Chains A and B, each alone.
Chain A
Amino acid sequence: MRQYANVISAYIIMIILIILVGIFQSWTVALSILNFCLISAVMTMGANIQWGYAGLINFGVMGYTALGGLAAVLVSVAPVGEAWQAGGISIIICLFIIIGMVFSIRYVLKKIQKSKKRNYLIAAIIIFGLILLRVISGPAMEHIEAVDPAKTGFLGGLGMPILFSWIIGGFFAAGAAYIVGKVALGLRADYLAIATLLISEIIISIIKHEDWLSRGVKNVIGLKRPVPYEIDLQSSSWFINLIEKLNEGKLNLINSVSDRQDALNQLVINASSIYVKLCFAGLFTIVVIILLIITQKALYSPWGRMMRAIRDNEEAANAMGKNVVREHLLIFILGSAVVGIAGAMMVTHDGLFTPGSYRPMRYTFLIWVMVIVGGSGNNFGAILGGFVVWFLWIEAAPIALFVINFFTSHLSETNALKNHLIESIPYFRFLMMGVGLLLIMRYKPRGILPEKIIKQ
C-alpha cells in the first residue's frame, strides 16, 4: 500500500480540486471539466503506450483523434438515401479501384525483381489509377454534395448507436496508424515527430475538404447520444419526483404554490444537465478503467518487459531475437487506436463534429504536455497528467484574472496596461502550459508520478 501512497494522494488532491470548482463555480462546470479530463486521460494513455512503453514519438495525435470523431459520424448518422442514389455506386467502385491498385502494386513488388522496369510499372499503375479515380469520383462527389447541401450533402452513416463508434473509431485510427507506421517508423526520433505531425495535417485536410464523406467545414451537428436528453428528462415524471424528493427540505420552506413550482422547475433544469453529464462521466470512467486494467496488465507482462527492453536498448533487444520493427509497428497501432477511441468519445460528448477545430496546438502538443507532466511510462501518471493539465487549461483564465487583479490592484480601473492584460487573459493558459512544461522538464524530468519498475 505504501508504494502507492503518492499515487493515491495525487488523485485525492485532484478530486478535491474538481469538487472545489463545483462548490465555488458550478457543478455543471466541474462535471464538464471532469468529463474532458477523462477523455484527455484516454488520449494520454494512448500517447503513453507509444512514448512511455516504447519510446516512439507520435505527434500525430490530432489526426487519430479526428479519425475517431469521423467514425462517430459515420456510425451514428442515418444514411442519406438520395445521396447514395446520386453517387453511392461510383464511390463504391472507387473503393474497389483503390483496393485493386494496392493489390496490383503488391503483386508487382512480389513478382518482378527490383529494377527500373518495376518502378515504371508501379508509377504507371498509380497514375492510371488516379486518373480513373478522378474521372469516376469527380461527378459522383458533385452529385452527392448537391443533395440538400444545407442539411446533408454527404453520404451519411450507418445509423447505428453511437457507442459502437468508440470501437470503430479505434479501428479507424489503427488502420491509419498501420499505414503511417509502415511509412515513417524507420525514421530517427525527431524526424518521426515531424513526419507524424505533417501526416496528421494531411489527414485533417482530407477530412476538412472531402465534403461527400464528412460534410467538411460545414460540420455535422446533432449527433445521437447514448444518454438521455435534457428536454426529455425535464418532462419525465420520475426525474421530477426524484428532484422533488432530494430537495424536499428546501422546497417546503416556500409557501406559495406557484413560487414553489417555479423553484422546482429551475431545480429540474439544473439537475437535468448535471444528470446528463454524470451519465457521460460514468461511461467515460468505465472506458478509462477498462483501458487502465488492460494497459497495467500489458505493462507488467513479458510483452511489456520486452517493450521496455526495446526502448532502453534497441540493439540489445534485436540481438536477443526480438523483432523490433514488428513490435514498434504493433505498439504504434495500439496507441493510436486508444487515441482514436478518445476521439470518438469526445465527439459523442459534444454531439457535433467540427473538422475545422482540429488544431495541432490543442490536440497534439497539449496531449504531449499531459504525458510529460504526468509521467511517461506510468499509466497512473499519464491519467493524472490528463487531469492536471486539462484542469489548468480550463481554470487558467480565472487564476490569471486573480493574479492580474492582485498585482495591479494599486492601478486605477482605467489604466491601459491593466485593461490590456485583462483583455488577453485567454492567452495566459499558453503561458502557464509552457512554463509548467519547462519547469517539469527541468526539475522533475520523469513527471509527477515517475515510472516504476516492479521487480518480479
Chain B
Amino acid sequence: MDFINAIILLLNYTVLPALTYGSQLALGAIFVTLIYGILRFANFATGDMMSFGTMFAVLLTYYFQSKGISFGVLPTALLTIPFAVFMMIFYMLVIDKLVFSYYRFKKSPPVQLAMVSIGVMFVTQALVRIIIGPFDRRFFDGEKFIIKAIEFKEMTGLNEGLTIKSTQVITILITIIVVSIVFWFLNKTKTGKSMRAYSDNEDLALLSGIDPKKVVMITWMIGGLLATIGGILYGLDKSYKPFVYFNNMLPIFAAAIVGGIGNPFGAFLGGYVIAFAEILITYAYKKFLTYVLPEFLEPDSLMQLLSTDYKFAVSFSILVIVLLFRPTGIFKGRVL
C-alpha cells in the first residue's frame, strides 16, 4: 500500500506537471527548430511570438464570453484557436515580408538574422503590451478538475490523492494531435519532404525545382500554428503574462538545442527532457522516501537536490553540459 501511495505521490507532483510543461515546451521547441533548420537563424522573438498569438486567444475568449458563447465543460479558449492561429500566421508573414525576406535574399550570415529577430522581439513585445497590457490574466473557464484529490482518495482508499486538472489532459492531448499532424506533414507529404530537402541542402533543393518562397511560407505557417497553440496551452494551464512568455524563450531554446537543433523530433523529446529534469531535480523527496523506506531510514531533511529557486538554472545547466559533451544534441541535429 505504501508503495502505491509513493507512486501516486510522484505521479501527482512530478510526472503529470512535467508532462504538461514538457508538452508546452515541446511545441515551442519544434517552432524554434523549424525556423532554425529552414530559415537558418536563431529566432529570439520566439517567446514574444507565442505571447502575441495567445493575446488574440485571450481577447477572443473575452469577446466570446461577453456574447455568451461557450464550449461546455471545455475552456472557451479552445474555440478561439483557429482564429488566433490565423492572426498569428498573418502577423508572421507580414513580418517576414517586411523584415526577414530582405536579409534572406542578401544571404546575410545567421548572426545578422538573429540580431534582426531581436528587433522583431522588441516590436512584438511592445505591440502585445500596448494592445493588452502587461498584466497577469487568467482566461480559463469550464470544468477545472477531472479528478479531485478527495474524490480519488474516497474512490481508492489511498492516503495520497491524485489531482488531474483538465488543462493537463487538454494540453497533453492537443500536443499529441498537433505534433502527429506536423510530423505526418513533414515526413509524408510532398511539401513536407521538400521542406526537409531545403533544410538539408539549400542549393540542391533549389536545383531540383523546389520553390523557396513556398517553403518559407509554409514554415512560417507551421511555426504560427505551433507557437500559438503552445502559448495558449501554457496560458490555460498557468496564466497569461507577457513577461513570463518572454522568459519561457530560454527553456524552449534549451529544449531545442538539447534535442539537436534542426531536428523536430529531437526538439519534441527535448521539451520533455528539460521539463522532467527541472521538476525531478527540484522536487522534495522527503514524503516519497518516508513511504518507500523502512521506518528507521526515514530522512529528516527535505531531500531536495536543489531548491525550486533554481528551476530555470537546471535546464540551462543541462544545456551547457550537452553543448560541452555533445554539441549536436542528444538526438543528433545539424552539426555545428
A residues contacting B by CB (< 8 A) are 57, 183-184, 187-191, 193-195, 197-199, 201-202, 205-206, 208-209, 361, 365, 368-369, 372, 421, 423-424, 427-435, 437-438, 441-442, 445
Contacts and interface: CB of A to CB of B under 8 A. Distances in A.
Nearest to B253: A194
A431 B319 contact: no
B323 interface: yes
Contact of A441 (B112, B121, B323, B336): B112
Nearest to B124: A434
Which of A369, A372, A427 neighbours the largest number of chain B CB atoms within 10 Å of its CB?
Answer: A427
Contact of B120 (A184, A194, A424, A438): A438
B316 A201 contact: yes
Contact of A189 (B110, B120, B327): B110
A423 to B, nearest CB: 8
B61 interface: no
Given A194-B257, A202-B316, A205-B312, A431 B42 contact: no
Given A198-B254, A202-B316, A208-B309, A187 B323 contact: yes
Interface string B120-141: 1111111101100110000000
B323 A428 contact: no
A57 B336 CA distance: 16
B118 A369 contact: yes
A297 to B, nearest CB: 28
A437 B122 contact: yes
A187 B329 CA distance: 13
Contact of A205 (B130, B257, B309, B319): B309
Given A187-B327, A434-B122, A424 B316 contact: no
Contact of A431 (B41, B130, B246): B130
A183 B324 contact: yes
Which of A183, A191, A198 neighbours the largest number of chain B CB atoms within 10 Å of its CB?
Answer: A198
Contacts of B119: 434-435, 437-438, 441
B102 interface: yes
Given A208-B309, A365-B121, A441 B110 contact: no
A162 to B, nearest CB: 28
Given A189-B114, A438-B123, 16 more contacts: A183-B320, A187-B327, A187-B336, A190-B114, A191-B323, A193-B111, A194-B257, A195-B323, A197-B250, A198-B319, A201-B312, A206-B313, A369-B122, A429-B126, A434-B122, A441-B119
B332 to A, nearest CB: 15
A159 B41 CA distance: 48
Contact of B122 (A208, A365, A423, A424): A365
Nearest to A206: B313
B109 interface: yes
A203 B99 CA distance: 33
Contacts of B125: 361, 427, 430, 434
B324 A430 contact: no
8 contacts: A183-B324, A190-B114, A195-B319, A195-B323, A198-B319, A369-B118, A430-B125, A445-B112
A372 B121 contact: no
Nearest to B134: A427
Given A198-B250, A199-B320, A190 B118 contact: no
A427 B313 contact: no
A86 B206 CA distance: 70
B317 interface: yes
Contacts of A431: 122-123, 126-127, 130
Is chain A's binding surface mostly helix, strand, loop or mixed? helix
A209 B311 CA distance: 11
Nearest to A425: B130
Contact of B130 (A187, A202, A369, A427): A427
A432 B114 CA distance: 19
B122 A57 contact: no
Contact of A184 (B41, B124, B250, B323): B323
Contact of A430 (B99, B122, B250): B122
A124 B323 CA distance: 21
Contacts of B312: 201, 205
B317 A202 contact: yes
Contacts of A442: 99, 102
A201 B254 CA distance: 12
Nearest to A366: B122
A372 B122 CA distance: 14
Contacts of B121: 365, 434
A190 B110 contact: yes
Given A183-B324, A199-B320, A430-B123, A441 B116 contact: yes
For the complex of A and B, 8 pairs with smallest distance between CB atoms: A434-B122, A434-B123, A431-B126, A430-B126, A427-B129, A437-B119, A198-B316, A209-B309
Contacts of A198: 250, 253-254, 316, 319-320
A384 B230 CA distance: 40
Contact of A428 (B115, B126, B134, B320): B126
Contacts of B250: 197-198, 201
B87 to A, nearest CB: 19
A194 B258 CA distance: 12
B310 interface: yes
Contacts of A441: 112, 115-116, 119
B139 to A, nearest CB: 19
Interface in B58-116: 99, 102, 109-112, 114-116
Contacts of B130: 421, 424, 427-428, 431
B307 interface: yes
Contacts of A365: 44, 118, 121-122
Contacts of A201: 250, 312-313, 316
Contacts of A423: 133
Nearest to B102: A442
B253 A433 contact: no
Contacts of A438: 99, 116, 119-120, 123
B286 to A, nearest CB: 15
A201 B121 CA distance: 18
Contacts of A427: 125-126, 129-130, 134
Which of B122, B129, B250 neighbours the largest number of chain A CB atoms within 10 Å of its CB?
Answer: B122
Interface string B238-252: 000000001000100
Interface string B294-327: 0000000000000101101100110110011001
Interface string B22-44: 00000000000000000001101
Contacts of A421: 130
Nearest to A190: B42
B316 A199 contact: yes
A372 B115 contact: yes
A361 B246 contact: yes
B23 to A, nearest CB: 22
Nearest to B318: A198
Contacts of B133: 423-424
A433 B122 contact: yes
B103 to A, nearest CB: 8
B42 to A, nearest CB: 4
B66 to A, nearest CB: 15
A57 B118 CA distance: 13
